[in-house]
């Protein structure tokens, strides 16, 4: 990534969960551009290997490959991460980005909805972080310098309004993102002695499949409430994550970084 003379160069391999679509796809692209090998984790989208091939074609000096893995399953996640190290080389960072939402009024939410949202957004993030930390720590290096970035959300801090006096009904999503922020702080505290840094990036509204499903009137209302008056493009979220993965961020851990167009000013 290059902006106003500030260049972030990354080495090794970085794993991106949910790296085939939306914000994750932008992360995968930005990482390849910054010189990292990229392992794209996806759950079921059939076009994920094509996404990896497209990025690979553009950046021939790095290796980019898609790996199918459901991050709600720890053993499968650990096995996949070990396979990634064999195929793409030493992993230096992880972006735990896979996430899902269920939009329903609270009275209609089910136990299954809870399992779905918390299963990916909290347990899936924990499984991903635990798998890579296990690999790093068991390698027995006293100073592994690993960096884990988790995609949280500004909605950990605010309940979004769908329209005046009408909340956007996704309380499991909001609370899962609050949970994952605290999870990140706990892991940062626990793994600091191993030189593993853990931070969260909290985007505001971003143009992806997740927000495409909102009715146009709701989207317009929400964009109007953002000080910058628009939703972000996925690539606008990548700079902060790249910084956190880089050596320039060697003293940054346990933090949360908003990339929200100023939304939380209000």
By rule CB under 6 A, what string of x and - marks binding of each residue 148-187 to ligand NDP?
Answer: ---x-x----------------------------------
- Which residue's CB is nearer to ligand NDP, number 27 or number 59? 27
Estimate the crossing angle of helix 171-191 against helix 111-118, to 10 degrees. 40
3-state secondary structure at position 195? coil
99 binds ligand NDP (CB under 6 A): yes
Catalytic-role residue among 173, 176, 202, 205: 173
Binder to ligand NDP among 43, 104, 185, 219 (CB under 6 A)? Answer: 43
Q: What are phi and psi of 194, to 5 degrees?
A: -95, 5
- Element housing 150 (H / E): strand 146-151
> Which of 13, 51, 98, 162 is in the footprint of ligand NDP by CB under 6 A?
98
Q: Which is nearer to ligand NDP, 117 or 144 (CB)?
A: 117
**Angle formed by the axes of helices 238-245 and 22-33, nearest 10°:** 50
Residue 78: how many other CB atoms lie within 10 Å: 18
Among 23, 30, 95, 129, binds ligand NDP (CB under 6 A): 23
Report the interhelical angle of 125-138 vs 74-88 (nearest 10°): 50
Nearer to ligand NDP, 73 or 85 (CB): 73
Choice among 28, 128, 177, 246 that is catalytic: 177
CB 41 within 8 A of CB 69: yes
Q: CA gyration radius for the chain?
A: 18
195 or 207: CB nearest ligand NDP: 207
Site for ligand NDP in 203-262 (CB under 6 A): 203, 205-206, 208-211
Residue 29 designated active-site = no
* 80: contact with ligand NDP by CB under 6 A: no
Min dist CB 231 to ligand NDP, Å, is 7
| 3 given a catalytic annotation | no
Residue 110: how many other CB atoms lie within 10 Å: 11
Location of structure tokens 């609370």: 175
What is the DSSP code (8-state) at residue 121?
Answer: I
Residues in the chain: 266
Least Å distance, CB 149 to ligand NDP, is 11
Please report how close the Cβ of residue 126 comes to ligand NDP at its closest, in angstroms. Answer: 12
Can 173 be counted among the known catalytic residues? yes
Catalytically active residues are 153, 173, 177
């Amino acid at each position: 990534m290059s902006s106003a003379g500030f260049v972030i160069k990354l080495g090794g391999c970085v794993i991106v969960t949910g790296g085939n679509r939306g914000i994750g796809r932008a992360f995968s692209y930005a990482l390849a551009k910054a010189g990292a090998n990229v392992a794209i984790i996806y759950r079921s989208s059939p076009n994920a290997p094509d996404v990896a091939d497209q990025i690979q074609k553009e950046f021939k000096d790095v290796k980019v490959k898609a790996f199918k893995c459901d991050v709600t399953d720890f053993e499968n996640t650990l096995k996949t991460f070990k396979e990634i190290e064999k195929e793409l080389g030493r992993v230096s960072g992880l972006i735990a980005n896979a996430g899902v939402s269920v939009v329903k009024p609270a009275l209609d939410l089910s136990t299954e909805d809870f399992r779905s949202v918390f299963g990916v957004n909290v347990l899936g993030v924990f499984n991903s972080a635990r798998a890579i930390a296990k690999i790093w720590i068991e390698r027995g290096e006293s100073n592994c310098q690993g960096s884990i970035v988790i995609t949280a959300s500004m909605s950990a801090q605010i309940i979004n309004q769908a329209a005046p006096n009408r909340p956007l009904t996704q309380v499991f999503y909001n609370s899962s993102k609050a949970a994952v922020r605290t999870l990140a702080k706990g892991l940062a505290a626990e793994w600091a002695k191993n030189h593993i840094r853990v931070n969260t990036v909290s985007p505001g509204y971003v143009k992806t499949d997740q927000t495409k499903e909102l009715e146009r009137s709701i989207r317009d209302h929400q964009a109007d409430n953002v000080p910058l008056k628009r939703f972000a493009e996925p690539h606008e979220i990548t700079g902060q994550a790249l910084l956190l993965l880089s050596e320039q961020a060697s003293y940054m851990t346990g933090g949360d970084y908003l990339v929200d167009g100023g939304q939380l000013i209000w």
